[in-house]
Structure 1
């Protein structure tokens, strides 16, 4: 039974990585396509390639998440918690894509696992509440603070960027910012691959540990390559529904502000992955940076109705997936 449950976790983790790339492709390409820095085809191809490379660059964050994230019980119960959590996260990703709403895949995964873990105690399972402090400090708090920081940094970055271009003609300045945007599209995609690819790896390693297939928290090569391929494939098939929301519905975007938003969000993803070893949501980081850079204009151009819808989606992601994860675990528990 444990072997089949392990296979189910691996398949669901691959589906989660694919949906992650599919859902988050808009984060990489929205501003560059909106300002015509890149054509849609080139932007998606670049995002896919650098997502693949990013997932292969490092495993430090994945190892940190495996050690710190959650204390899963061994055997079928631990695998059932992961199955329910991954299923809830995948379902939420499909729903928010259909609704054209950018949402955090990490929040969805954390909510699903926490909800299914809490439900496991209702059927006499091991309590994973001992991981709540780690979940708060390493996951929830960074994910809550990163949108505020991204907004503030992108808003402030517009000032020095404008000052540096004070002697450039509008045409020359826009051309330079479009070139910078092309570079930052690749950099952001690389950071997205580093951040999101390693979450999938961490889940698979947790499943291997729960199934007793390994006692080492290191990342096997096949896990790393599989996660990279699934993430890149999802990005290559990326839907444009959320791209329209980020690129057109939130703010009026020009090349300078698009460059500012991508510079801030790219820097934050790398900072979180390599220095702080904490997961940051590429969706929340990019969307907040777009709003921050766009708000720094002579006239307020932020469209508050779609912004309010996005904020409601962010606030409800973890609670909804926690409930879904709990319900799915209770439905699955007779088989465990």
Structure 2
């Protein structure tokens, strides 16, 4: 039974990676297309290329992530927990995409794994080890800190950018910042690949460990390729519902502010993935930076009701996926026996 469940985990992880790219492409392309820095087709191709490179290079980081993330019970029990957590995260991601709401795939996944682990304990099995620290360092702290940091720095970085452009004609300013925004879009996509590629590869590595197919010390080439290819495929199919929300609905943005938001978001993603090994949500980082840069204007431009609705959904994400995964894991418990 374990090989069959392992195959199912691989398929569901591939679907999760596809949906990750499908939904999160908006983080890279929304502002660039909103300000006409790039055409939609060029923006998506650029995002897909840099997502692929980032996800492929993240494979080495994923080994460290899996070793310090969570531990699963061996055999069918651990694999069933993964399936329940992944299906829950996919279902929530599809719902948020349908409603055009940006939300974090990482928070959905960690919440799902926590709920599935609780279900395993409820039926007398072994839970998920280290999930309390994962919830703290991958959900609670990033949920509170990364949006605040992204919003605050993007807001204040608009001041030096506008000061530097104070004697330049507006059309020249827009032209220059559209060029930098095209570069920033690729940088955000690369940062997204680094961040989210780690999570997808780490899930597959955990599945290999639970199934007894790996000792967790190295990353198989097929795992890195599957993660990169599926995230890239999702990016190419691009979900424009969320792009419309980020680029048009939450605030009014111009090339200068869009460039500030995306450049700072990319810096946060790079530092988090490479230097600090912190799992930052690309969606939370970019959305908060866009709000911060857009707020730094002399007139009201933010759709505050929509912003509060998004914040509420961010807080609800781990709880909702945990509840759904709990139910799914209970339904799958006969397979883990």
Interval of TM-score (by shorter of Structure 1 and Structure 2): over 0.9
Corresponding position: 1:214 with 2:214: yes
* Contact preservation (8 Å) 2:50, 2:193: yes
Residue of structure 2 equivalent to 1:28: 28
Partner of 1:145: 145
Alignment of 1:311 onto 2:311: yes
* Structure 2 SS opposite 1:26: helix
Specify the alignment match of 1:105 in structure 2: 105
Q: Give the C-alpha shift of residue 204 in structure 1.
A: 0.3
Q: How many residues matched?
A: 336
Once the two structures are superposed, residues 252-294 of structure 1 have per-residue CA deviations (whole angstroms, 9 ceiling, x without a partner) of 1111110011011111000100001011100000000000000
Report whether the alignment pairs 1:185 with 2:185: yes
Shift of residue 140, structure 1, vs aligned partner: 3.3
Q: 2:40: which partner in 1?
A: 40
Is 1:328 matched with 2:320? Answer: no
Partner Cα separation in structure 1 for residue 193 and residue 296 of structure 2: 29
Deviation at residue 139 of structure 1 after TM alignment: 4.7
Contact between 1:37 and 1:178, CA under 8 Å: does it hold in 2? yes
SS class of match (2:168): coil
Structure 2: distance between partners of 1:162 and 1:92: 39
The residue that corresponds to 1:277 in the other structure is 277
Contact 1:197 1:228 in 2 (8 A): yes
Supply the distance in 2 between the matched residues of 1:46 and 1:315 (Cα, whole angstroms): 31
**Is the CA contact 1:204–1:223 (under 8 Å) kept in the aligned structure 2?**
yes
Q: Which runs of no fewer than 5 residues in structure 1 stay unpaired?
A: none
CA deviation after TM superposition for structure 1 residue 68, in Å: 1.4
> 2:72: which partner in 1?
72
Query: Could you tell me how far 1:134 is from its partner in structure 2?
Result: 4.3
Deviation at 1:120, TM superposition (A): 0.4
| Structure 1: distance between partners of 2:240 and 2:127 | 41
2:218 aligns to what SS in structure 1? coil
Going from structure 1 to structure 2, the CA distance change for 1:227 and 1:130 (only over 3 Å counts) comes to: closer
Q: Deviations over 1:183-238 (max 9, x none)?
A: 00001101101111111000000000000001133211110011100000000001
- Cα root mean square deviation, aligned: 1.1
- TM-score under structure 1 length normalisation: 0.98
- Could you report, residue by residue, the CA deviation over 1:287-332 in whole angstroms, capped at 9, with x for unpaired residues? 0000000000001211111111111110100000000010000011
Question: In the alignment, which residue of structure 2 is the partner of 1:299?
Answer: 299
Per-residue Cα deviation, 1:52-80 (whole angstroms, up to 9, x for no partner): 01111233431222011112110110001
The aligned runs of 1:80-229 (5 Å cut-off) are 80-128=80-128, 130-229=130-229
User: What does residue 8 of structure 1 align with?
Assistant: 8
Indicate the SS of the match to 2:196: helix
TM value normalised by structure 2: 0.97
**Alignment match, 2:267:** 267
Structure 1 range deviating more: 118-127 or 11-20: 118-127
Unpaired stretches in structure 2, ≥5 consecutive residues: none
Deviation, 1:129, is 5.3
Q: SS in structure 1 opposite 2:45?
A: helix
Provide the rounded CA distance (Å) in 1 between the counterparts of 2:111 and 2:143.
Answer: 12
Aligned partner of residue 9 in structure 2, secondary structure: helix
Measure the CA separation in 2 of the matches of 1:269 and 1:318.
21
SS for the counterpart of 2:283 is helix
Deviant stretches of 4+, over 3 Å:
none
Tell whether the 8 Å contact from 2:72 to 2:129 is kept in structure 1 after alignment: no
Q: Residues 61 and 145 of structure 1: is their aligned pair in 2 closer, same or farther, counting only changes over 3 Å?
A: farther
Closer/same/farther in 2, CA of residues 279 and 34 from structure 1, 3 Å limit: same
Residue 138 of structure 1 and its aligned partner are, at CA, apart by: 4.7
C-alpha distance in 1 between matches for 2:77 and 2:8? 13
Q: Decide whether the 8 Å contact of 1:103 with 1:283 is kept in 2.
A: yes
Does the 8 Å CA contact 1:60/1:277 hold for their aligned counterparts?
no
